[in-house]
Structure 1
Amino acid sequence: MTTGNASKTAGPGAPGAGRSAYLVLGMHRSGTSAVTQVLALAGATLPQNVMPGDTHNAKGYFEPWKIAMFNNQRLRAGGSAWDDVFAFPHRPLDAPAERGWLDRALALFEDEYGGVRHPLLKDPRVTVLLPFWRAVLDGVGVGARCVIPVRHPLAVAGSLGRRDGFAPEKSVLVWSAYMLAAEAYTRDLPRAFVGYDGLLGDWRAEVSRIEAAHGAPLPRMTEAAAEAIDGFLTPDLRHNDAGRGLKALGWAGEIAGQVLAWFEAAAADQAPDPDGLAAPARALAERQREVGVLVSPTTRDLDAARTELLEARQRLEFLEADVDALRRDAAAAGARLDALLAQD
């Protein structure tokens, strides 16, 4: 279910504490979309502007694309990016700059969720920016209940390799950074660790664990919601197997293996000591001291370049659509002219 301090029912997000957001935290491609849709069908409220599905996730991402774009910008402002292996720990900006980002985030949150009682926020980038987003939630008077999917890092690496072309070593390190952040930043919040395979195998048991960890039922777990969840959680959601072992990935695999062991224990209700993640966190921090000054700025700049390329492609698609429309209009006008001339 949770670690010992995770099942508290007092404090932010506890029953009776007013509005509470459901935060789905963890790494990209690790089951966050599936968990989010389960929570949405059970009554939590998705944002106004949801990212649509694509060939990599046909059933949808269920995340606010405007907030995702904002988070990319905020990560780059801190010298990082969503795929930075050293995105943990969080990098706060100086107070005046951070205030400006907070004001923008507050406005975004209000635009996406308004005054709903249980906002549902799923953007994996929130995980490594959680100290920032907790300040946003505090600013709007909203508590937090966290759900953290646990999926084998090699399954995540397989998905990222196909989608983004990442080497497995990079993928498992980014996964480790996100998972370390998810644990470190939620120790004082109601939280549940949910095995991805367990969710697909017996989602009702996992929902019961989530409710027990939060000390509160999901907002609207009706029979109709259960039927909808049955229809959504189909075997095709299991896209990638873990494949070969982490040991083949050297020191990156060793760090990921230690993180995985802790989270698998947490998802199995074994209540591991949070200090059990100290060793992999230190190992990652040591690598950051050695090469972080080279890795993080390069990752940030590549992310900025990808964003500019994507925006240029989108502008080109809009222009091509305008040209096609003009061609159709010209063809129609020509046909009308030919018809008039034929009458003469």
Structure 2
Amino acid sequence: MEQKNIFIVLGMARSGTSAITRSLKALGIELGDKLTKGREKWNPTGFWEDNEIVYKIHKEIFSCLNFPPYGIETPDRDQLLSEQLQYIRNFAIELLKQRFANTCYWAFKDPSTVKLLPFWQSILDELAIKEHYIISLRHPLAVAQSYHRVTGHDIEVGLLLWIAHVIPAIDETLRKKNVVVSYDLLLQKPKEQLERIKNHLAIPTLTKNLEIDFYTNQFLDKNLQHFDGKVDLQPPKQIINFCMKVYQLGMQLAQDEITSEHEAFLSSWQEIKNELEEIYSVYCYVDKLLKRIHQLENQLRNINKSIAWKMLYPLRKVDDLLRARRKDIRKLNRLLKAY
């Protein structure tokens, strides 16, 4: 039986995961026909996500575990391998069998996958499917700014989520077949990066050059790279400094200046993990507070837009006037007493 190969794209939302997933299609790797359509605000060129992976597996896992999918905390390994998720596991096994029915090369992506890697890796081991990981890397401020633009969340939330996606994506795949790809380098030199992905993951020639030409010349849109490095975002120094430490080390991998087996990398990576361990609980607390503030702001906006609030506007104005008059009367009383 021919070896089945799966290619899983990992990375934070707004970091180029869709463009990288589409590059795999250009290399001849199947994505299936149950893909989520793009949306003008989020991804006009398409998400390239398998609907059933996202909605029938990932969202179901988070719901079953009563776990927030968009925070920086991650379900622990025991939860993801528990009997509680057996019915989802069975569905995932059948889905993989369907996806590989007519191909030996298939890929999927969903930013939340990084939280669920133990779930997937145990299934892939059981089915003897060979794992390959592509980690999308983009400047943390670019990701946070883009995330803020489409969700309204604070820059700090985007940075914390960036940390929560990038570090485990690299750490959980160090001993697997993986490659770190810079989104910026992909836009600048797409053919070079496609060749690099192909070489790192030992992908055979599965498609004609026309597919690659279409991807590099027509699909990729450099105008979608909106980050303006001149914008003064002023995030907390502790968070951005830590992000930049991770990003710079990741870029060394993305530029093939160092390998993940290199002693210098492993030493620097361990320092990053140690630092994260020290501040992780604080980051989780900050993340919850920032999201709670965002939730309350949305609720306040909805109240201000409500019909009831608008109908009460005249009464509120009368109340404001009465309060002002009472204040004036109190001032007059104080003046009279002074005389």
- Smaller-chain TM-score bracket: 0.7 to 0.9
Residue by residue over 1:127-151, the C-alpha shift from the partner in whole angstroms, topping out at 9 and shown as x without a partner, is 2211211122223332112211211
Q: 1:17 to 1:242 in 2, by over 3 A?
A: farther
Deviation for aligned residue 1:119: 0.8
Match among 6, 13, 22 for residue 28 of structure 1: 13
Higher relative contact order (CA 8 A, sep 6+): 1
Please give the alpha-carbon distance, in whole angstroms, between the structure 1 residues aligned to 2:285 and 2:78.
14
Paired residue secondary structure (2:20): helix
Match among 90, 97, 122 for residue 84 of structure 2: 97
2:137–2:181: 8 Å Cα contact kept in structure 1? yes
Please give the alpha-carbon distance, in whole angstroms, between the structure 2 residues aligned to 1:164 and 1:130.
26
Match among 272, 276, 295 for residue 268 of structure 2: 276
Deviation for aligned residue 1:153: 1.0
> Which letter does structure 1 place at the counterpart of 2:51?
W
Q: 1:77 to 1:209 in 2, by over 3 A?
A: same
2:157–2:287: 8 Å Cα contact kept in structure 1? no
The answer for the alignment partner of 1:332 in structure 2 is none
Paired residue secondary structure (2:123): helix
Please give the alpha-carbon distance, in whole angstroms, between the structure 1 residues aligned to 2:277 and 2:2.
36
The answer for the alignment partner of 1:175 in structure 2 is 162
- Superposition TM-score, scaled by structure 2 size: 0.75
Deviation for aligned residue 1:278: 2.8
Paired residue secondary structure (2:133): strand
1:260 and 2:247 correspond: yes
Residue by residue over 1:222-281, the C-alpha shift from the partner in whole angstroms, topping out at 9 and shown as x without a partner, is 221122112111222313334557874232212211211111111111215134233333
Q: Which runs of 5+ in 2 are unaligned?
A: 260-264, 299-339
1:226 and 2:212 correspond: yes
Match among 116, 119, 130 for residue 132 of structure 1: 119
2:133–2:178: 8 Å Cα contact kept in structure 1? yes
Match among 100, 105, 116 for residue 118 of structure 1: 105
> Which letter does structure 2 place at the counterpart of 1:280?
I
Paired residue secondary structure (1:145): strand
Q: 1:109 to 1:94 in 2, by over 3 A?
A: closer
Residue by residue over 1:295-343, the C-alpha shift from the partner in whole angstroms, topping out at 9 and shown as x without a partner, is 679979x99xx9xxxxxxxxxxxxxxxxxxxxxxxxxxxxxxxxxxxxx
Residue by residue over 1:170-190, the C-alpha shift from the partner in whole angstroms, topping out at 9 and shown as x without a partner, is 111111111111111111222
Deviation for aligned residue 1:169: 0.9
Residue by residue over 1:96-152, the C-alpha shift from the partner in whole angstroms, topping out at 9 and shown as x without a partner, is 124333223223333455442111111121122112111222233321122112110
The answer for the alignment partner of 2:52 in structure 1 is 66
**Which protein has the larger Cα radius of gyration, Structure 1 or Structure 2?**
2
Residue by residue over 1:160-203, the C-alpha shift from the partner in whole angstroms, topping out at 9 and shown as x without a partner, is 10111111111111111111111111112221111111111111
2:34–2:52: 8 Å Cα contact kept in structure 1? yes
The answer for the alignment partner of 2:71 in structure 1 is 84
Residue by residue over 1:48-71, the C-alpha shift from the partner in whole angstroms, topping out at 9 and shown as x without a partner, is 310101012111000012211231
1:45 and 2:17 correspond: no
- Superposition TM-score, scaled by structure 1 size: 0.74
Q: Root-mean-square deviation (CA), in Å?
A: 3.1
**Identity level (%):** 24
Paired residue secondary structure (1:192): strand
Please give the alpha-carbon distance, in whole angstroms, between the structure 2 residues aligned to 1:190 and 1:182.
12
The answer for the alignment partner of 1:199 in structure 2 is 186
Could you tell which deviates more after superposition, 111-120 or 28-37?
111-120
Q: 1:122 to 1:162 in 2, by over 3 A?
A: same
Deviation for aligned residue 1:215: 2.8
The answer for the alignment partner of 1:106 in structure 2 is 93
The answer for the alignment partner of 1:145 in structure 2 is 132
2:61–2:85: 8 Å Cα contact kept in structure 1? no
Paired residue secondary structure (1:22): strand
Please give the alpha-carbon distance, in whole angstroms, between the structure 1 residues aligned to 2:226 and 2:287.
30
The answer for the alignment partner of 1:164 in structure 2 is 151
Q: Which runs of 5+ in 1 are unaligned?
A: 1-15, 307-344
